[in-house]
Amino acid sequence: MSRTILSMTLILFAMPLFLGCSNDDNKNQRSQNPVDQLPPATQTGEETFGCLIDGMVFIPVQSGFGVTILQCVYQYVDGGYYFGLKGSKEIDAIYYAIAIGTNRLEIQQGGVYNLTGYLEGSALGSWWFDNELRYISTHSGELKITYLDQTRQIVSGTFWFDILLPNGEIVEIREGRFDMPYTI
């Protein structure tokens, strides 16, 4: 009798192990494709931001005290519109950030803007590290506004740009996406 109870107990505990097995070894693993690790491209103000920096995933993450990891503004100041979005994270005590924005340039849903630098009437992309602006995209890039709701203050879009380093090396910012509420 006790042997039967012991056998039944072992079967009951072992059953979930067998039921949990699958021939699809990758089913429950996160995709190895870096693009699949980025936040989904949504348009509901989900407070998401992500991109690839030379193929590596960059998603803002809060790490202790201090820096706000996501900032987004769209405002009319002194006769011009200014859009600014920055996502940041700290890695090994070094601050990194990707920022995109406009200088006296009104954005529109469906609008596509070349990232050419910080000139009046233009858009730009920038790369920050160690708490300092290091490089601005004057090489190439694009910002596309896929959704803009000025009543609910939500902006969504995609971006990519290249950063030309002083040594001639190009840093590629790709597959950028964001879905943010903004302040005015």
Which pLDDT does position 167 carry in this prediction? 84
pLDDT of residue 21 exceeding 60: no
Least confident of 15-19, 74-78, 104-108, 128-132: 15-19
Give the tokens for residue 105: 């340039």
pLDDT at 174: 97
Encode pLDDT of 125-163 as tens digits.
998 877 666 677 766 899 999 999 999 999 999 999 998
| Cα–Cα dist 124/102, whole Å | 6
51-57, long-range: CB within 8 Å, 24+ apart, which pairs?
51/87, 51/98, 51/159, 51/160, 51/173, 51/174, 51/175, 51/176, 51/177, 52/172, 52/173, 52/174, 52/175, 52/176, 53/98, 53/127, 53/171, 53/172, 53/173, 54/171, 54/172, 55/172, 55/174
Average pLDDT value over all residues in the chain: 83
> Does 27 score more than 60 pLDDT?
no
**How do residues 79-132 score in pLDDT, each as one tens digit?**
999 999 999 988 788 888 999 999 999 999 999 999 988 889 999 999 887 766
Q: Cα torsion at 19, 21, 26, 28 (round to 10°)?
A: 40
Structure tokens at 1: 């009798």
What are phi and psi for residue 37, nearest 5 degrees? -90, -10
Longest C-alpha distance within the chain, in Å? 88
9 pLDDT band, cuts 50/70/90, is very low
- Specify the pLDDT at position 139: 67
Task: Give me the half-sphere count of Cα atoms (radius 13 Å) on the Cβ side of residue 7.
Answer: 4
